[in-house]
Amino acid sequence: MNETADQADPTADEAQVPVLIVGGSLVGLSTSLFLGRLGVRHTLVERHADTSIHPRGRGNNVRTMELFRVAGVEPAIHEAASTLAKNHGILQAPTLVGDAGDWLFKQIDPGGGLARFSPTSWCLCSQNDLEPVLLDHAEGLGGDLRYSTELMAFNTDADGVTALVKNRETGRHSTIRADYLVAADGPRSPVREQLGIGHNGPGDLFHNVSITFRSRRLADVVGDRRFIVCYLTRPGADGALLPVDNRENWVFHAPWHPEDGETVEAFTDERCADHIRRAVGDMDIDVEITGRAPWHAAQRVARSYRSGRVFLAGDSAHEMSPTGAFGSNTGIQDAHNLAWKLAAVLGGWAGDGLLDTYDIERRRVAEATSARAAARSAEHSHPGYTPPPTAGNAPQRGILNITLGYRYPKGAVVGADPTTAVVPEKLALTGEPGSRAPHLWVRFRGERISTLDLYERSLVLLSDADEPSGWHEAATRLAEEMSVPLVSYRVGIGPGSELAYEDGADWSEVHSTTRAGAVLVRPDGFVAWRSPGVVPDAESTLRQVVRTVLALT
């Protein structure tokens, strides 16, 4: 960005919006979707002409799918992902010829145990299939999404951001004035570079070249092994094979060693095809190379996610090893965390200090998650990765504690233990402040929903319908008095309940409180605070909690 924001074409239209998003990939589009759901006007600029054409970033974990469920896009994502709906496991084998090899795991959710914790599940949807879905829904919500538009420069001041953007098709410059800027502009983020925000972490881990190719006979070799990825370990021909359609389109990640002077140009069609045949173990299969692109696996986390009116999200804030698909999911969850906080501050019902909690909460999650991602690459012997001697010696204890059980010990929460681990050893969703609120099936206005479906546009207070604790009345009065979106639901079986039990569940037991207690949940579905029982002055107590959570004190 060598230009300045003062160089805008004086004849060009100037736009003024609450939020400017830089970057139109998964994280930028998710930011647009979540802001649109909350009614926040915004503009997104993306230098590329369209969404991604590369079949990568395919693993959408259960927490991400919960967010997409609440945002109303889950059915469309499943439709876009239908081709790979039956692909589940991760296979590790010397070649694909014969039966040699081991499943690192064969099912994502063996036994269906995930249903105890969530109303949804994992979804295998490649980036090139997912991005158009997000784009369509974001535009449908009124988002101003401008592709072929590049951020050339930006200036910040106490009141906002002035950005100079260029239409790459017409060459025309224009100015966008925004209250806030969200930089979702990738691992080499020009925005982060201008802000001078450095990284923590070991840096580059390994390098691969992603090769897209067509092969009709490979499906016969694969047979009925419907894997997400297969790590092929033959010495001198190792790599990772990923199906695109289980028929003739495939991706192969081959180790690349630029540290030894190896160039991307050295990966000719002939070399790539030969490497793939040797890795598969069949020199007679047809291989037509259709593309190649280098990529770098790294472990880096920005030292700050906020600089005044500018926020980092996704790869601009953190880089992670691709094993486990942690990076894109962490970025989408960044966007969700930030969106409700921007909406609250812009809507006048939260103080600016709430935006500081974005860095406090999400940076610690990224640090813990990126370390787990690197350890998982060692455990899976990812092609091209030689871990340090101390890495990867202990097997991972599952993945749900990372993807669903992460916590915010500090931030926009009251009553959380600040010394607790961000990623617990075991999954425990029991209503603890700072954790994702428990999932519970209930009846709402005659419809069966998850309690997670309630958390999006407001703070939510849960209390008991049959216990005269005063929480519901206090929340109702405070919502009007404080002009805060605070919705109260009483749970039970009596006529005063807004949420009716299903399957004999007890909301208070699930949330680790008593029926005289209450639980306050944030718009992003994380528990902000809970009371184990009745208090002398419910209204005063709740008022102070809400003011603290929303940085109104």
Q: Are strands 227-232 and 89-93 parallel, antiparallel or unpaired?
A: parallel
Identify the pLDDT of residue 89: 87
Terminal-to-terminal C-alpha distance of the chain = 39
> Taking a C-beta distance cutoff of 8 angstroms, is the pair 385, 205 a contact?
yes
Q: Give the residue ranges of the chain where pLDDT is below 70.
A: 1-13, 389-398
Write down the mean pLDDT value for the chain.
Answer: 92
> Taking a C-beta distance cutoff of 8 angstroms, is the pair 114, 124 a contact?
no
Which tokens in the block code for residue 169?
Answer: 């098709």
Q: Ramachandran region of residue 196, left (φ > 0), alpha (ψ -120 to 50) or beta?
A: left
Q: Are strands 288-302 and 318-319 parallel, antiparallel or unpaired?
A: antiparallel
223 and 240, same domain (yes or no): yes
Domain boundary, last residue among 400, 432, 466: 400
137 and 157, same domain (yes or no): yes
Q: Angle at the Cα of 31 (from 526 to 418), degrees rounded to 5?
A: 30
158 and 216, same domain (yes or no): no
Distance of CA 133 to the CA centre of its chain: 16
Q: What CATH number should be reported for the domain holding residue 266?
A: 3.30.9.10
Does 435 fall in a domain?
no
Half-sphere exposure of 470 (CA within 13 A, CB side): 12
Does 104 fall in a domain?
no
Identify the pLDDT of residue 397: 53
> Taking a C-beta distance cutoff of 8 angstroms, is the pair 418, 409 a contact?
yes
267 and 345, same domain (yes or no): no
SS (H, E, C) 302-329: ECCCEECCEEECHHHCEECCCCCCHHHH
Does 424 fall in a domain?
no
Q: Of 114, 111, 107, whose CA–CA distance to 227 is shortest? A: 107
Domain boundary, last residue among 263, 298, 333: 298
Q: What CATH number should be reported for the domain holding residue 62?
A: 3.50.50.60
- Partnered with residue 491 across adjacent β-strands are 464, 499
> Taking a C-beta distance cutoff of 8 angstroms, is the pair 519, 513 a contact?
yes
Tokens 């992902």 found at: 81
Identify the pLDDT of residue 398: 67
141 and 190, same domain (yes or no): yes
Which tokens in the block code for residue 112?
Answer: 């269906």
Q: From start to end of 94-221, where are the E strands? A: 102-105, 123-124, 144-147, 149-157, 160-167, 173-183, 199-214
Question: What residues contact residue 149 under an 8 Å CB cut-off, 6+ apart?
Answer: 45, 46, 47, 165, 166, 167, 168
- Partnered with residue 460 across adjacent β-strands are 487, 521
Identify the pLDDT of residue 318: 97
Q: Helix, strand, or coil here: 369?
A: helix
Domain with 361 in it: 14-87+122-199+301-400
Q: From start to end of 326-484, where are the E strands? A: 441-444, 447-450, 459-464
The pLDDT tens digits of the residues spanning 223-254 come to 999 999 999 999 999 999 999 999 999 999 99
319 and 195, same domain (yes or no): yes
Look at the chain and report how many structural domains it folds into: 3
463 and 541, same domain (yes or no): yes
463 and 381, same domain (yes or no): no
Distance of CA 242 to the CA centre of its chain: 21
Does 143 fall in a domain?
yes
d(CA 189, CA 183): 8
Residue type, 376: R
d(CA 438, CA 415): 17
Does 3 fall in a domain?
no
Does 410 fall in a domain?
no
78 and 154, same domain (yes or no): yes
Domain boundary, last residue among 400, 422, 455: 400
Does 95 fall in a domain?
no
- Partnered with residue 89 across adjacent β-strands are 227
498 and 463, same domain (yes or no): yes
d(CA 211, CA 272): 8
- Partnered with residue 206 across adjacent β-strands are 297
The pLDDT tens digits of the residues spanning 4-15 come to 655 545 445 688
Identify the pLDDT of residue 321: 87
Which tokens in the block code for residue 36?
Answer: 């649109």
Q: Of 223, 241, 218, whose CA–CA distance to 55 is shortest? A: 241
314 and 251, same domain (yes or no): no
67 and 143, same domain (yes or no): yes
Does 96 fall in a domain?
no
Which tokens in the block code for residue 229?
Answer: 């990825």
d(CA 519, CA 21): 33
Q: Helix, strand, or coil here: 64?
A: helix
Identify the pLDDT of residue 394: 45
Tokens 């894997």 found at: 227
Identify the pLDDT of residue 3: 61
Buried b or exposed e, range 230-258, using 16+ CB within 10 angstroms: bbbbeeebbbbbbbbebebbbbbbbbbee
